[in-house]
Amino acid sequence: MIQLYRVVPWLPSASLGQPGHPLFVDVSRQGGGRADNPRHYQALYVSESAAGAVGESFGDHLDWSHEMFDVPWLAGANRALATFRADPPPKVLDLDDPSVLLRLGARPTEVVGRDRERTREIALAVWLESRWQGLRWWSWWRPAWRNQVLWASPEAANPWPLEVVEVEELALSHPAVVLAADVLKRRLQTGR
């Protein structure tokens, strides 16, 4: 059993498969992510820590404010931290294993770097092996944070082997936000 975390646009009334549900993936919005290959699979990005999920979502912002939790494209939604349980854990290929990198002909800098064409190429090569449910790698923001991408066929209705444990609306005072901001040296703009 493993717990995984994801920052999501959340609508408490959303059902599985609908925008606002913690496991919803809008394939039409995919294509630019680190391991995206939407012609081949859906990609669900999760982190192995709550602070890692927050850091991955908001790391590009130098000042963290209440506004970053707004979801303008989904009326009534706010950003939330979803906690999932996977039992058994998904079978993911660990890109932190040197023997894996050697087999894939990949360098550590290619795994975590900002060259998304290369990271998507690595992801597709592993997907085509048909042996894995996803990938695992270290965070660009903080190597101690571990991330995963889970894959499913584009037409799968309920593809993710995860149980939603909890969904908590995010605020600047949320412990995962405070911890991630501290680790990343981000300023919390607490005034409205």
Tens of pLDDT, residues 32-58: 999 999 999 999 999 999 999 999 999
The Cα–Cα gap between 103 and 101 comes to: 5
How many Å apart are CA 180 and CA 142, to the nearest integer? 10
Summarize pLDDT for 70-104 with one digit per residue, the tens: 999 999 999 999 999 999 999 999 999 999 999 99
Pair 42, 124: CB distance under 8 Å: no
pTM: 0.94
Q: Is 57 helix (H, G, I), strand (E, B) or coil?
A: helix
| Distance in angstroms (rounded) separating the CA atoms of residues 95 and 23 | 24
Phi then psi for 60, rounded to 5 degrees? Answer: -70, -15
Of 34, 133, 145, residue with least CA distance to 92: 133
